[in-house]
Chains A and B, each alone.
Chain A
């Protein structure tokens, strides 16, 4: 496949919060978009096409919001494309935007992921009855908690690994000014004593519900070099992108370590020339809405053998000063505007490669992985970004 090279040259995030009542939805998107354009030293006029993603419409109660948001998105007279892949949508959206450049059709593409979760209750948007099934009467946590229990059983992990993940991510978030949750008082004990919601998931081991948006400018080779020359910040080159999905219900399906995630990782590593991911990848932003998904995804993504992901967490290897830092930004556990969450992972990975991550920057990141998942752990999107041209 002869694809044009593509790089991230601009990233902009809003401040994330429970409610961003100080801006309208168009204003929220502009806040992210202008920051990304400023970072790329570009204006809306320089953008050829816009690719957007958010969670299903029922989350905000506005059908097809992208149409009324066209002006806010700078899309008047330009192609505007929306991507739908549930919780993984932020990742998939960035990949679709990249493919618009890789195809050679567009030179500079603006991509935006957002959610204004304060408008409705995502919990109930996920819980409407299905006529031929017994109703799941326990929300999203009730869906995922049983698979966490099975992971703990299979791996024999100590029951406090989830607490360690939550503590790490919430402390990392203190170094990220955009993060929703800033909890300087949080401790191991405060997490352990927090309300048990869906045993084995505690309140402090779950993601918050956030308002916010992230935007990125993706550019072809010449445009990327021009932006980098103007800004003095190196591009994050896209070394590989992959998406996979699998049915929610199928015999042989393993929701503890879904086949689609394993295949998606193998594909993106192959494109990026990565043979030994734990040695060759410098940091990871992965989609961890419930703390235990860190060790589960470490295994699914090939960073640890089956049943041993929790050891990496326990040994501190995924901490900021570990050999494979995970979710330096504070992750989904600290910020979760659902439709944006996947793109935040992709964007934070690119920020690390570009050296833009401020207080949560890891020294010398050359290669980083962004990861998103969604639905019934059935949709996966990943990209590898690096400092060198692929």
Chain B
């Protein structure tokens, strides 16, 4: 392992921050040790840190994020814009060669309301975890929707990304902290089929 970028270490994050008794690690049922008290559980953290080399297409996407832009890509002769592009159109099986800026406005294609805590990487519950289709893109991104009561979120609702300050931006999707609603008419859910 080289000295790559540093990541938040996950080993110490709170695990199973859930209501009491839900998915907690249960007591181990072990046979009687015959006088020797059994060792019931040894906790061994497993952590892996990857040094990831994004390659050409993800580099273009990540550099775009650094500039506060969402860049998708299209294959020659294709119509679908993939974001983030992995360098090819998986339906056509052809390389994506054309860079296309999508969004920043977007539509919620579907979502759920998360009522359980998922540690410091997630907003406090309840929060909305949504699939979000940037204008001009063919596929949705995962994101959280804040700035609105969760009971008012709808399929087809219009949103925009909320970015970190330019000085804080890195080559990371975390530059978009969350999405927030905008005052535009909903998109028909039927139009969103196939783009979730």
User: Nearest-CB distance from B28 to chain A (Å)?
Assistant: 4
The CA-CA distance from A138 to B113 in the complex, in Å, is 10
A133-B84, A137-B122 known; A203+B31 contact, CB < 8 A: no
Is A124 close to B, CB under 8 A? yes
Is A276 close to B, CB under 8 A? no
Is the beta-carbon distance between B194 and A254 smaller than 8 angstroms? yes
Is the beta-carbon distance between A199 and B196 smaller than 8 angstroms? no
Is the beta-carbon distance between A137 and B129 smaller than 8 angstroms? yes
Q: How many interface residues does chain B have, given as a range?
A: 35 or more
Is the beta-carbon distance between A121 and B15 smaller than 8 angstroms? yes
The CA-CA distance from A135 to B121 in the complex, in Å, is 9
Is the beta-carbon distance between A149 and B138 smaller than 8 angstroms? no
Is B26 close to A, CB under 8 A? yes
The CA-CA distance from A91 to B80 in the complex, in Å, is 34
Contacts of A251 in B (CB 8 A): 80, 82, 91, 138-139, 194-195
Is the beta-carbon distance between A123 and B23 smaller than 8 angstroms? yes
Is A305 close to B, CB under 8 A? no
Digit string of B45-65 for contact with A (CB within 8 Å is 1, else 0)? 010001010100010011000
Is the beta-carbon distance between A146 and B130 smaller than 8 angstroms? yes
A118-B25, A250-B139, A251-B194 known; A146+B10 contact, CB < 8 A: no
**Which of B19, B40, B54, B189 makes the CB contact (< 8 A) with A153?**
B189
The CA-CA distance from A187 to B103 in the complex, in Å, is 47
Q: Residue among A124, A134, A135, A249 with the most chain B CB within 10 A?
A: A134
Is the beta-carbon distance between B129 and A136 smaller than 8 angstroms? yes
Residues of A106-161 at the interface with B, using a CB-CB cut-off of 8 Å, are: 118, 120-121, 123-124, 127-129, 131-139, 141-142, 145-150, 153
Which residue of the partner chain B has the closest CB to A58? Answer: B46
Is A68 close to B, CB under 8 A? no
Contacts of B46 in A (CB 8 A): 58, 61, 120
Digit string of B106-150 for contact with A (CB within 8 Å is 1, else 0)? 000111111110100111001001110000001101111000000
Contacts of B58 in A (CB 8 A): 131-132
User: Nearest-CB distance from B4 to chain A (Å)?
Assistant: 11
Is the beta-carbon distance between A22 and B29 smaller than 8 angstroms? yes
The CA-CA distance from A185 to B70 in the complex, in Å, is 52
Contacts of A147 in B (CB 8 A): 110, 196
Q: How many interface residues does chain A have, given as a range?
A: 35 or more
Digit string of A220-262 for contact with B (CB within 8 Å is 1, else 0)? 0000000000000000000000000001011111110000000
**Which of B23, B129, B143, B189 makes the CB contact (< 8 A) with A209?**
B23
Q: Which residues of A contact B (CB under 8 A)?
A: 17-22, 58, 61, 118, 120-121, 123-124, 127-129, 131-139, 141-142, 145-150, 153, 195-201, 203, 209, 247, 249-255
Offer 8 A-B interface pairs, CB within 8 angstroms, sorted by A.
A123-B23, A124-B10, A146-B196, A150-B155, A196-B115, A247-B90, A249-B90, A251-B194
Q: Which residues of B contact A (CB under 8 A)?
A: 7, 10, 15-16, 19, 22-23, 25-31, 40, 44, 46, 50, 52, 54, 58, 61-62, 80, 82, 84, 86, 90-91, 109-116, 118, 121-123, 126, 129-131, 138-139, 141-144, 155, 172-174, 176, 189, 193-196
Besides A21-B40, A22-B31, A137-B129, 18 other CB < 8 A contacts? A19-B27, A21-B28, A123-B23, A124-B15, A131-B172, A134-B142, A134-B176, A135-B174, A137-B123, A138-B112, A142-B112, A150-B155, A150-B196, A195-B116, A250-B91, A251-B91, A254-B193, A254-B194
